[in-house]
Amino acid sequence: MDMRRLAICGAVLLLTAGCGVSQPARQAHPAQKTQRTASKTAGPKLATNTGTASASVLPRTWTIGKFRVEELPLPADFFKKAGGEVVVGTYLLTFGAEAPYPVTWRSLTSGKTGTVTQDGCPGTTSFAYVDLNSSYPPGDAALVCEGTTTSTLRVIHTPDMTVSTYLLPGRPKTASEYLVGAFAFGWPTDPQILWSVAQSEGPAPLIGSGIMDLKTGKNAPWPKGFNTELRVAPDGTLYGLNGNTLSRWGGTSFEVLGRIPGLRVQAVGDDGVVWVDQPSPSDVWTDTLIRETVGSDKTQSWTIHGGNRLFGPGFIAWTPGTSLTGPPLSILFAEAHRTLTLWDVWGQPYLSGFGGANYEIITHTREGPAVIEILPPS
| Beta strands at 162-169 and 179-185: parallel, antiparallel or unpaired | unpaired
Chain centre to alpha carbon of residue 371: 14
What is the per-residue pLDDT for 377? 84
Quote the mean pLDDT of the chain: 85
Of residues 209, 235, 160, 230, the one with CA closest to residue 3? 209
Question: Model-level pTM?
Answer: 0.85
Short-list 286, 271, 287, CA closest to 335: 271
| pLDDT tens digits, 283-323 | 999 999 999 999 999 999 999 999 999 999 999 999 998 98
What's the pLDDT band for 50 if we cut at 50, 70, 90?
Answer: low
How far, in Å, CA of 326 to CA of 213, rounded?
41
Give the model's pLDDT for residue 247: 96
**For residue 335, what pLDDT band results from cuts at 50, 70 and 90?**
very high
Band (pLDDT 50/70/90 cuts) for residue 81 is confident
pLDDT at 33: 29
**pLDDT tier at 8 (50, 70, 90 boundaries)?**
very low
Using 50, 70 and 90 to split pLDDT, how confident is the model at 357? low
Q: Which pLDDT score is estimated for 56?
A: 58
How does residue 28 score in pLDDT terms, banded at 50, 70 and 90?
Answer: very low
What are the distances in angstroms from CA 292 to CA 47, 232, 265, 282? Answer: 19, 16, 10, 23
φ, ψ of residue 153 in degrees (nearest 5): -115, 115
Question: Residue 352: what pLDDT?
Answer: 77
Per-residue pLDDT at 25: 33
Q: Please list, in sequence order, all residues whose beta carbon lies within 8 angstroms of the beta carbon of residue 214, skipping any fewer than 6 positions away.
A: 137, 155, 164, 166, 184, 191, 192, 193
How much is the pLDDT for 55? 54
Q: pLDDT at residue 119 above 80?
A: yes
Interval 253-289: pLDDT, tens: 999 999 999 999 999 999 999 999 999 999 999 999 9
How far is it, in rounded angstroms, from Cα 204 to Cα 176? 10
Q: With bands split at pLDDT 50, 70 and 90, how would you rate the model's confidence at 3?
A: very low
**Higher per-residue pLDDT: 56 or 222:** 222
Phi, psi (rounded to 5 degrees) for 142: -135, 145
Tens of pLDDT, residues 120-132 = 999 999 999 999 8
The pLDDT tens digits of the residues spanning 128-180 come to 999 988 999 999 999 999 999 999 999 999 999 999 999 999 999 888 899 99
Confidence of residue 35 (pLDDT cuts 50, 70, 90): very low
Handedness of CA 127, 83, 18, 233 (dihedral sign): positive
Q: How far is CA 32 from CA 35, 282, 307, in A?
A: 5, 11, 19
CA 129 to chain centre: 18
The one-character DSSP state at 16 is G
pLDDT at 52: 67
pLDDT bin (cut points 50, 70, 90) of residue 225 is confident
Which band of pLDDT confidence, cut at 50, 70 and 90, is reported for residue 30?
very low
Could you give the percent of the chain with pLDDT greater than 90?
A: 71
Q: Give DSSP secondary structure letters for 50-92.
A: EEEE-S-PSPEEEEETTEEEEEEE--TTGGGGTTTEEEETTEE
